Structure 1
């Protein structure tokens, strides 16, 4: 009888161990493998289509109130040069730009869909992807000509996607990484960063509709007032700029968002 009990206990332990190994493989190993494979696939694709950031000419200045089509029509009759995003658009027709911030890991295409959800769970090729893509808010002008362009992406522990945005919560990090750029159809648009904010997901900083100069000025005041820190630029000066917000999830509290705010230098 005692021998049977010992055998039963051994079998139970073996079964429990095998089940634990199975659960670990299903819950940890396989998801990690899928994430690793997705990241490798993404990196290979991006390496193939990444625009020549350093070789892309600077974009000409543009007013927030003048659509780019009108600005292009006002230029000489010469045919416009090919877009630096041609290779990206061959893979994804919804691509609107390429974000690059030196020495941070922020080096990604930007897509804009009919909503803000699709490309957060799909890759540039339209297939399901846990990393997704940086997404320009569907309410924003797709050519970045509007007053405020809000770009969202996930925050991954391996510093993928917009995880590096959280590094900017330290003022010293912005001091050492003050600029980035977005490659658009018009060329290279330089960005100067001026503030970092921690806000709830429903914060009014995600507003994208501005009708009057007063609207823009009040929004600029909101950004500066809400910021954890900011440069010495004034709300009046910001109201005359085109703004760019890089937003990602952070973990200070439930539904917290970290926002890196900048403006285009060509204005």
Structure 2
């Protein structure tokens, strides 16, 4: 959990009052996001005084996040420069330079965190593990102060994660011509400050505690021994907790509910009844909405759904079904499946744990480091059981693939879409699942089907996921699959980062309608004539990036992050300012133009004709984008006769 110093900058009375009125809500919201608010201070918008206060707190505070709210008041970076560049220059002046860096100029890496409302941006930078975030005045953005802070912190976290490898201490070095040098030179030791002297302890063995009369060498030896002892104890506690006590507790908790769920007299009771005792499960937790099972794995768990989840807060990510804190978490339904277990696509997440629990069993379909899939494992396990209080059900697997949750890995497919605007969009979504599959699977699918999507972490690349998709067995349909007809997909579709590392040619893909019209699809058995747009709205218009469900463990392959790529938000607006379309455009790429025509309703005097999008934005190259932009429509007003 981050420890936070919050600075309420007093630019105007209205914003200051709004912050003070919402202070308790803000503190609670930050706590939910993993931030402990230690201290809040009000400061006037005075660069000199603010710089002095920040430097004092840097030396005296153990906080690792410095958050400045209501600090900025311009849509460009001028107010940020005016208020914070004195602080930045003061910090830069203290950065040590050894012989290798003697002729170089150190600069803190300051980054924009994007538009937080009405064109007003936030900015962030870091130094020696300390993070700094400056946010615009809430009244200017049109957002509530609490949501503005949460959105600003979330956007900043993405920036800090992206910059961590190239700027490990937050500093970039430049040569005498003003050119940024090799990132390797950014790895500089800045731990020059002397740590405070620890208070003298009493009652401990004199042989381990430095004494006043000890020589310098004796004191150093004792300190080294103490550090070694503490490190050993900490490592021992971690090993015992991670490899022994944690798995034992998790097994006990899950064994308890498995016993309750399956505690039915199959011989003497109703053999046609549900497999789970739903009354007993609901008595434990009303948010248990399903039960998922895959044979020959540890996957035999309750499925939870919490209606309050959003991108920043997933309740059961680190909680058991008893709502107790646990690194193992629970199997839970994603908030983008808005009807829970009744959604058209029921998206479920679970951790990949080293002891094989939770969703680690999914890796049987494609083990860690594998990018071909285990066809034999699929053939032995082609069906998943997902039961709900509405009835028991089998689901036939239709796709197994690995993909990215990051836009910077190339052309993006967001598999986390739970509802759809049309049957055409749904079938195009299924088509995109299947062209990515490691296997060609002899299971049909159509617009009348419900699917489940099981997702867990894999580490072939940074923040990749293993995804297993299955569709519900239809009434009267044989639940068995002729797996002898399954085969390997000779060219499954991967994100671009795969081809950058391993080579090969990215296969050409269609949309569902075009592929079906060409006879390229042999798994569709619907009625055809699908209505509506095929555009996958989740992929085109939302940022799907999520925190990894489980970080790589000790002795496991570390995630590999490709060279950082900058993407800029491009938002097209309707005449009333609402969003018409949105894109994340790679730096240097041309700006796309959305299809369709925005409309202004006619009034008593005029009709309005759309004349195109206003791309006369000063300083913006629409063929080689280098900045986030908002684009508005142009209309001709034609007077009625």
TM-score range, shorter chain: 0.7 to 0.9
In the TM superposition, residue 11 of structure 1 has moved relative to its aligned partner by: 6.1
Contact 2:319 2:328 in 1 (8 A): yes
Aligned to 2:452: 244
Aligned to 2:327: 130
Give the Cα separation in 2 of the matches to 1:12 and 1:139. 52
Max Rg structure: 2
Contact 2:457 2:466 in 1 (8 A): yes
In the TM superposition, residue 51 of structure 1 has moved relative to its aligned partner by: 3.5
Residue 50 in structure 1 maps to residue 258 in structure 2: no
Aligned to 1:94: 287
User: Are residues 241 and 20 of structure 1, via their aligned partners in 2, closer, same or farther at CA, if it must alter by over 3 Å?
Assistant: same
SS of residue in 2 equivalent to 1:104: coil
Residue 115 in structure 1 maps to residue 272 in structure 2: no
Q: Of Structure 1 and Structure 2, which has the larger fraction of its residues in helix?
A: 1
Give the Cα separation in 1 of the matches to 2:399 and 2:236. 43
In the TM superposition, residue 198 of structure 1 has moved relative to its aligned partner by: 0.4
Give unpaired runs (5+ residues) of structure 2: 1-214, 367-373, 407-412, 476-641
Residue 156 in structure 1 maps to residue 156 in structure 2: no
Aligned to 2:433: 223
User: Are residues 216 and 54 of structure 1, via their aligned partners in 2, closer, same or farther at CA, if it must alter by over 3 Å?
Assistant: farther
Give the Cα separation in 2 of the matches to 1:134 and 1:53. 23
In the TM superposition, residue 187 of structure 1 has moved relative to its aligned partner by: 2.1
In the TM superposition, residue 129 of structure 1 has moved relative to its aligned partner by: 1.4
User: Are residues 9 and 129 of structure 1, via their aligned partners in 2, closer, same or farther at CA, if it must alter by over 3 Å?
Assistant: closer
Contact 2:450 2:471 in 1 (8 A): yes
User: Are residues 128 and 261 of structure 1, via their aligned partners in 2, closer, same or farther at CA, if it must alter by over 3 Å?
Assistant: same
Between Structure 1 and Structure 2, how many residues are aligned? Answer: 240
Higher relative contact order (CA 8 A, sep 6+): 1
SS of residue in 2 equivalent to 1:187: coil
SS of residue in 1 equivalent to 2:365: helix
TM-score under structure 2 length normalisation: 0.34
Aligned to 2:238: 27
In the TM superposition, residue 194 of structure 1 has moved relative to its aligned partner by: 2.0
User: Are residues 238 and 166 of structure 1, via their aligned partners in 2, closer, same or farther at CA, if it must alter by over 3 Å?
Assistant: farther
Choose 30-39 or 99-108, whichever is displaced more.
30-39
Give the Cα separation in 1 of the matches to 2:474 and 2:316. 28
SS of residue in 1 equivalent to 2:256: helix
In the TM superposition, residue 23 of structure 1 has moved relative to its aligned partner by: 2.9
Out of 388, 391, 394, the position equivalent to 1:190 is 394
In the TM superposition, residue 10 of structure 1 has moved relative to its aligned partner by: 8.2
Give the Cα separation in 1 of the matches to 2:263 and 2:425. 37
User: Are residues 40 and 101 of structure 1, via their aligned partners in 2, closer, same or farther at CA, if it must alter by over 3 Å?
Assistant: closer
In the TM superposition, residue 166 of structure 1 has moved relative to its aligned partner by: 1.3
Give the Cα separation in 2 of the matches to 1:54 and 1:186. 21
SS of residue in 2 equivalent to 1:188: coil
Give the Cα separation in 1 of the matches to 2:423 and 2:255. 44
In the TM superposition, residue 254 of structure 1 has moved relative to its aligned partner by: 0.4
Backbone CA RMSD of aligned residues = 3.0
Contact 1:94 1:111 in 2 (8 A): yes
SS of residue in 1 equivalent to 2:281: helix
Give the Cα separation in 2 of the matches to 1:29 and 1:14. 22
In the TM superposition, residue 38 of structure 1 has moved relative to its aligned partner by: 2.7
Aligned to 1:264: 472
In the TM superposition, residue 262 of structure 1 has moved relative to its aligned partner by: 0.6
Contact 2:292 2:386 in 1 (8 A): yes
User: Are residues 230 and 206 of structure 1, via their aligned partners in 2, closer, same or farther at CA, if it must alter by over 3 Å?
Assistant: farther
Contact 1:220 1:239 in 2 (8 A): no
In the TM superposition, residue 35 of structure 1 has moved relative to its aligned partner by: 1.2
In the TM superposition, residue 124 of structure 1 has moved relative to its aligned partner by: 0.7
Give unpaired runs (5+ residues) of structure 1: 60-82
SS of residue in 1 equivalent to 2:322: coil
User: Are residues 138 and 17 of structure 1, via their aligned partners in 2, closer, same or farther at CA, if it must alter by over 3 Å?
Assistant: closer
Residue 173 in structure 1 maps to residue 377 in structure 2: yes
